Amino acid sequence: DAKTTQPPSMDCAEGRAANLPCNHSTISGNEYVYWYRQIHSQGPQYIIHGLKNNETNEMASLIITEDRKSSTLILPHATLRDTAVYYCIVRVENSGAGSYQLTFGKGTKLSVIP
Amino acid sequence: KAGVTQTPRYLIKTRGQQVTLSCSPISGHRSVSWYQQTPGQGLQFLFEYFSETQRNKGNFPGRFSGRQFSNSRSEMNVSTLELGDSALYLCASSLGQGAGQPQHFGDGTRLSIL
């Protein structure tokens, strides 16, 4: 399975863009990059995912490098409510059964500072 | 659209007892996965069900079992509870099993073993 590497923590000023990096240098061509976040005592919240192209939704943008070895999650205008642990996950097929479990690492703790 | 609903939210049991946790997926979602989250081990995959069949299983003992009903609702059972089973148990649902189908999580059941 492709593994991901994220910085353990980051700070961002409120109102500024938060750019969260993720390295996945062993990613294969059919493996998706997913981003989730988890606020204390809640379940992980899906943010965005992509395969090759950059993606944008109402929450964030996902920039994937051309070689797909790294990606960046961008929260355009961070608020205090964006303080959370952010997980970058490469989702792979398991056991040939068409099953794609999520394997969570330790993530990046983002602190949005007033 | 209602999200993933897990019941109960909190549960206290003693060693040796058994417990059943319930998960109602998002309407129309057919795949349900279960995860265990502890401070030491992080988020770990338990199993996945699709069309009432277990499609994938994580590295947990046989005391952990589950099932899925025809309406896609799922239950997870843990027998002979141990202190180490204290954790947040999370359920996630997705439309299908494909790698491009995001999983959406509930807020979990917090199980405490005394």
pLDDT tens-digit series, residues A13-57: 999 999 999 999 988 888 899 999 999 889 999 999 999 999 999
| Residue B97, SS3 per DSSP | coil
Q: What is the pLDDT of residue A31?
A: 86
Furthest-apart CA atoms within chain B: distance in Å: 40
Whether cis (ω within 30° of 0) applies to the bond prior to B8 is yes
Chain B interface includes A43 (CB < 8 A):
yes
From chain A, the residues in CB contact with B40 under 8 A are none
- What are the tokens at A18? 């938060």
Q: Backbone phi, then psi, for B36, in 5-degree steps?
A: -110, 135
Q: How many residues does chain B have?
A: 114
Q: What is the pLDDT of residue A67?
A: 93
pLDDT band at A10 (very low <50, low <70, confident <90, very high): very high
Interface size A-B, in CB pairs within 8 Å, comes to: 63
Contact A42 B99 (CB under 8 A): no
Among B55, B97, B105, select the one facing A44 at the smallest CB separation. Answer: B105
Chain A interface includes B100 (CB < 8 A):
yes
- Residues B4/B8/B14/B19 CA torsion (nearest 10 deg): -60
Single out the residue of B26, B66, B70, B34 nearest to residue A99, CA to CA. Answer: B34
| Residue B84, SS3 per DSSP | helix
Q: Give pLDDT tens digits along chain B (114 positions).
A: 689 999 999 999 999 999 999 999 999 999 999 999 998 888 999 999 999 999 889 999 999 999 999 999 999 999 999 999 999 999 999 998 777 889 999 999 999 999
Q: How far apart are CA B70 and CA A37, in angstroms?
A: 31
Contact A97 B55 (CB under 8 A): yes
